[in-house]
Amino acid sequence: MQLQLSTWPEVEEYLKISSGIVIPIGSTEQHGPNGLIGTDAICAEAISKGVGDETEALVGPTINVGMALHHTSFPGTVSLRPSTLLALVQDYITFLTKAGFTKFFFINGHGGNMATVKAAFAQTYTHLSELQIPNSDRVQCRLANWFLCSSVRNLAKELYGDREGSHATASEVAVTQFLYPEAIKNVELDAQLPPQDKIYGPDDFRRRHPDGRMGSDPSMATPEHGERFYKAAVKELSQAYREFLQAE
């Protein structure tokens, strides 16, 4: 059940059964020569919908643009400042809390969002308390990164070994290939693995990683692999969501 495909009476009925909602969050950024710019949002949205189908959870609208300032030297990247993303997440939670939701399960597809989203949770708890919104003391938020699921990491190690990398990874490219086979890009990549340096500013990032990859070989990705990653993430995160709803 997707929020944007529902009517307000349907949401009102849903809230009689559950106060939980799944919110996909990703990024719009470069993913190397053969990775789609929307990879992080595409993966998070699809996996969130899968979790929604599996658990009968309501799935909110995807936050498609994240904190990707370090990728902005590559054409096509769109980024929010950390302060903007923090405010956006806080507004999502605040107005959904006013509607009656208290359990917020964010499924994330971008590592660069993690610190800001966790900071947004901390700030939002206090903000809700100050507003004195009913049941705000019962609000709980969790950030679940699909790419850090143990089943996903184990499968990536099995399929790609040390060629998975940390950005423009084979696993995330594979998921987009499974979801959008018509958009597969056949690009010849340098066989030598790019470095996995620390991340600083955008110009420094492009100097260190001229084709956008970090330690990855996404030429190994296939749609068949992507289906396996998708199913593994949906299964693990569905269980995590159920446990989150039951937790005090």
The pLDDT, as a whole number, for residue 190 is 85
Domains detected in the chain: 3-246 (3.40.50.10310)
CA distance 47 to 109: 9
Q: Count Cβ atoms within 10 A of the Cβ of residue 117 and give its class: 0-12 exposed, 13-18 middle, 19 or more buried.
A: buried
Q: Count Cβ atoms within 10 A of the Cβ of residue 184 and give its class: 0-12 exposed, 13-18 middle, 19 or more buried.
A: middle
Does the pTM exceed 0.85? yes
Which SS3 state, helix, strand or coil, does residue 100 take? coil
Residue 125 tokens read as: 């708890």
Which SS3 state, helix, strand or coil, does residue 142 take? strand
Tell me the sheet residues that pair with 4.
none
The pLDDT, as a whole number, for residue 194 is 86
pLDDT tens figures, 111-144: 999 999 999 999 999 999 999 998 999 999 999 9
Residues of the chain with pLDDT below 50 are: none
The pLDDT, as a whole number, for residue 124 is 97
Q: Which amino acid is at 211?
A: D
The pLDDT, as a whole number, for residue 3 is 97
Count other Cβ atoms within 10 Å, centred on residue 246. 8
Buried b (16+ CB within 10 A) or exposed e, 145-169: bbbebebbeebbeebbeebbbebbb
Nearest to 46, CA basis, from 231, 195, 211: 231
CA distance 37 to 42: 9
- Phi–psi pair at 63, nearest 5 degrees: -90, 100
